């Protein structure tokens, strides 16, 4: 009788463990470009918030989908910069990069990944054009 109970527990444990491993490894990634943005703002407003209180702004915006509007100041490879906001463009949007011009106004949505207080630069990734 004890062997049957032990065997049943082992089988149930193996099934639950297999499901947990499958769930973790095959979980779809977040698509920040198609998510509803948590915040919509201009690049200058975002920059001012980080300069005023870096810790509070980081807590508020980190790992959230942001829709930013601003004027392009530089394009370097897959990075589009607005003053001190650097957006790494998602691989699905690379064909749009050659059409961009420095000085043009555009909207980008992506995930805020951090703030470099030494360079006073806000980093975003998985950005898509809106």
Residue 77 belongs to a domain with what CATH number?
2.40.50.140
pTM: 0.76
| Alpha helices by DSSP H, 26-91 | 43-52, 54-61
Is 29 inside any structural domain?
no
Tens of pLDDT, residue by residue over 64-82, are 999 999 999 999 989 999 9
Is 1 inside any structural domain?
no
Is 52 inside any structural domain?
yes
Tens of pLDDT, residue by residue over 2-22, are 888 888 898 999 999 889 888
Is 7 inside any structural domain?
no
Is 96 inside any structural domain?
yes
Q: How confident is the model over 33-44, as a mean pLDDT?
A: 91
In terms of residue numbers, what domain contains 77?
Answer: 39-129
Residues 6+ apart with CB under 8 A from 69: 40, 41, 42, 43, 105, 106, 107
Strand order in the sheet with 85-89: 39-42, 65-71, 105-116, 121-129, 85-89, 79-82, 74-76
Is 26 inside any structural domain?
no
Overall number of domains in the chain: 1
């Amino acid at each position: 009788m004890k062997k049957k109970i032990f065997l049943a527990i082992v089988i149930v444990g193996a099934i639950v463990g297999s499901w947990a491993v499958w769930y973790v490894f095959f979980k779809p990634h977040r698509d920040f470009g198609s998510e509803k943005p948590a915040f919509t703002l201009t690049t200058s407003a975002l920059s001012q918030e980080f300069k005023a209180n870096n810790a509070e702004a980081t807590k508020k915006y980190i790992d959230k989908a942001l829709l930013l509007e601003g004027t392009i100041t530089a394009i370097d490879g897959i990075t589009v910069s607005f003053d001190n906001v650097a957006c790494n463009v998602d691989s699905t949007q690379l064909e749009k990069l050659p059409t961009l011009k420095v000085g043009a106004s555009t909207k980008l949505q992506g995930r805020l990944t951090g703030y470099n207080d030494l360079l006073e630069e806000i980093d975003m990734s998985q950005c898509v054009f809106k």
